[in-house]
């Protein structure tokens, strides 16, 4: 790294009583309650020089906090980060108005005077001597000045050997502050969004793919096997879990290896799709297929092919998955630990269904071959599946019957009798009765990739509770010079909006919150996990 940045002066501690910004004005962050007097002399369009730096509106900065001040997840005495939203003089003293990455004190007010707009509760005032340029951005500046035409971020952190757990213990919004903010996640570079979003989905908050990182070398592996797994684990996954940030140069190491060793060319610079990356990675590392189909085929992901059913209206993901299995006459031979499913599309643009509701819990019971299934009428062991009933109800669950219920329901339905087929049931379940409980086998949605105008982003669940929060990740959310700034934001509205009645009441996508619109209209790939199977494996 350029030695100039090794000599950056440390920001000075400022006593707590001299910090500007009070909690009492947090109420103003939700609205502008200024009087004319409060609006005076607050233009703040200045540049504030300090030492060798110039702070101006838009400058990303780090702020050294005194030991007795807590800000967001920072317990005090550490560095907090934000962006300059106002720069000027207050009482003849230079001052910076900041919008912090984490919760702060106010909405841009100081002593009843409004100075700048920011996200509610994230306003903060600081003196220039407290601040330094954000060191996460400084490394981008170095590359901007490089004679090479490769403006990737230099490696922000050293390789991290060892095992680090995913961030799956996030249970409330305060914990999310460890993950959300600018310069969080994976930095995008040279059309890398397909890979950034996929890696973020696979490794940030879940361990279901960690076996890929930890398998020892075996006979038949490529000579570079250890190098590929080391770069993936130590440079990317561990950095993501420990530092919550991965620079583009770290990702480029993996891209260069995949491009050099894999069957897909152009992985270092061209637009690609997540399935191309997944197929390349799993083939190179000889990852066992996640899915074994009744057709005898095995795969790491499942591509849904369906004809649009106008009767479905606004379909759930569960419905179109069952539709795909039904139309192709497929079942899964066994319950997978992870289930990656591509939405029904033709190319990147044409969608079979303009909107699809994600199923947070996926019922796999009726998609498994030779799995015991209950009669949907009396709950005893089912022996028959009626294709005509599925075509009417659009539900595989409602098309299974025991012999007695089937005969009663289909006594006068000769066409249904011709379309039924007997189910194969293991001998151990032959004596199953309605007095016994047959649990349904389910999987949990933990990540979702979306695409719009060839750009991939990710939604990821932070926790394993049914109401655990979700975050949205974009590896190219903003730009600084020639470099992309990644960002992770909270997605509070996901549970409030993802209901049929709510979406039917808002048929125009423009009336939806932007993140909700992405989920229902731009979904590309869903990631499901079975915690019980993953634990057994």
> What is the set of active-site residues?
193, 455
Name the DSSP class of 82: E
| DSSP E strand boundaries for 137-184 | 181-182
Output the six-digit token pair for 344.
Answer: 């029904």
How far does the chain reach from its first CA to its final CA, in angstroms? 43
Query: Which residue carries 């170095």 as its tokens?
Result: 142
Output the six-digit token pair for 302.
Answer: 């499942």
HSE, side-chain direction, 13 A CA sphere, residue 294: 13
Quick one: which of 350, 376, 377 has its CA closest to 365? 376
For 24, phi then psi, to 5°, come to: -65, -15
Distance CA 320, CA 326 (A): 10
Distance CA 518, CA 502 (A): 15
Q: In DSSP terms, which residues pair with 452 in a beta bridge?
A: 455
Q: At what angle do helices 193-203 and 274-284 cross, to 10 degrees?
A: 60
Cβ atoms of 108 and 115 closer than 8 Å:
yes
Q: Can you say how many angstroms the Cα of residue 347 is from the centroid of all Cα atoms in its chain? A: 22
Distance CA 358, CA 446 (A): 11
Cβ atoms of 338 and 527 closer than 8 Å:
yes
Quick one: which of 375, 524, 377, 398 has its CA closest to 454? 524
Q: In DSSP terms, which residues pair with 489 in a beta bridge?
A: 472
Q: According to DSSP H, which parts of 179-333 are helical? A: 193-203, 210-214, 225-230, 238-243, 248-261, 274-284, 317-328
Distance CA 176, CA 181 (A): 10
Helix (H) or strand (E) holding 144: helix 135-144
């Amino acid at each position: 790294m350029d030695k100039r940045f090794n000599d950056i002066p440390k920001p000075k501690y400022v006593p707590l009583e001299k910090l500007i910004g009070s909690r009492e004005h947090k109420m103003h962050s939700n609205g502008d309650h200024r009087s004319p007097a409060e609006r005076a002399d607050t233009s703040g369009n200045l540049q504030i020089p300090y030492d060798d730096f110039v702070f101006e509106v838009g400058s990303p900065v780090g702020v050294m906090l005194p030991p007795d001040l807590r800000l967001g997840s920072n317990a005090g005495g550490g560095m907090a980060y934000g962006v300059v939203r106002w720069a000027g003089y207050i009482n003849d003293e230079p001052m910076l108005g900041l919008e912090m990455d984490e919760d702060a004190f106010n909405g841009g007010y100081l002593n009843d005077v409004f100075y700048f707009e920011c996200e509610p509760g994230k306003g903060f005032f600081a003196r220039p001597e407290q601040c330094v340029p954000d060191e996460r951005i400084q490394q981008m500046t170095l590359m901007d000045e490089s004679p090479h035409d490769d403006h990737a971020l230099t490696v922000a952190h050293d390789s991290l050997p060892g095992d680090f757990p995913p961030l799956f213990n996030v249970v409330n919004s305060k914990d999310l502050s460890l993950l959300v903010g600018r310069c969080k996640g994976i930095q995008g570079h040279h059309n890398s969004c397909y890979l950034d979003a996929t890696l973020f989905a696979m490794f940030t908050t879940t361990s279901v793919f960690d076996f890929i990182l930890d398998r020892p070398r075996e006979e038949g592996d490529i000579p570079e096997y250890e190098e590929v797994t080391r770069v993936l684990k130590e440079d990317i996954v561990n950095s993501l879990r420990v530092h919550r940030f991965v620079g583009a140069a770290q990702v480029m190491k993996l891209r260069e290896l995949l491009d050099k060793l894999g069957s897909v060319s152009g992985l270092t610079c061209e637009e690609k799709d997540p399935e191309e990356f997944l197929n390349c990675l799993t083939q190179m590392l000889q990852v066992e297929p996640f899915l074994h189909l009744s057709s005898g085929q095995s795969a790491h992901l499942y591509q849904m092919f369906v004809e649009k059913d106008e009767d479905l209206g606004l379909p759930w993901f569960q419905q179109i998955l069952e539709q795909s299995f039904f139309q192709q006459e497929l079942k899964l031979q066994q319950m997978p630990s992870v289930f990656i499913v591509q939405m029904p599309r033709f190319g990147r643009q044409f969608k079979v269904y303009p909107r699809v509701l994600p199923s947070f819990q996926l019922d796999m019971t009726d998609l498994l071959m030779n799995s015991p299934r209950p009669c949907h009428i009396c709950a005893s062991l089912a022996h028959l599946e009626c294709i005509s009933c599925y075509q009417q109800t659009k539900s595989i669950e409602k098309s299974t019957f025991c012999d007695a219920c089937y005969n009663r329901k289909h006594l006068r339905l000769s066409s249904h009798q011709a379309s039924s087929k007997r189910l194969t049931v293991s001998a151990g379940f032959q004596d199953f009765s309605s007095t016994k409980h047959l649990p349904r086998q389910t999987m949990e949605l933990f990540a979702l990739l979306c695409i719009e105008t060839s750009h991939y982003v990710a939604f990821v669940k932070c926790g394993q509770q049914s109401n655990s929060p979700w975050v949205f990740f974009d590896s190219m959310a903003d730009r600084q010079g020639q470099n992309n700034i990644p960002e992770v934001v909270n997605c509070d509205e996901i549970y409030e909006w993802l209901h049929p009645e709510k979406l039917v009441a808002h048929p125009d996508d423009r009336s939806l919150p932007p993140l909700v619109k992405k989920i229902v209209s731009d979904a590309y790939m869903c990631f499901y996990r079975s915690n019980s199977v993953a634990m057994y494996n």
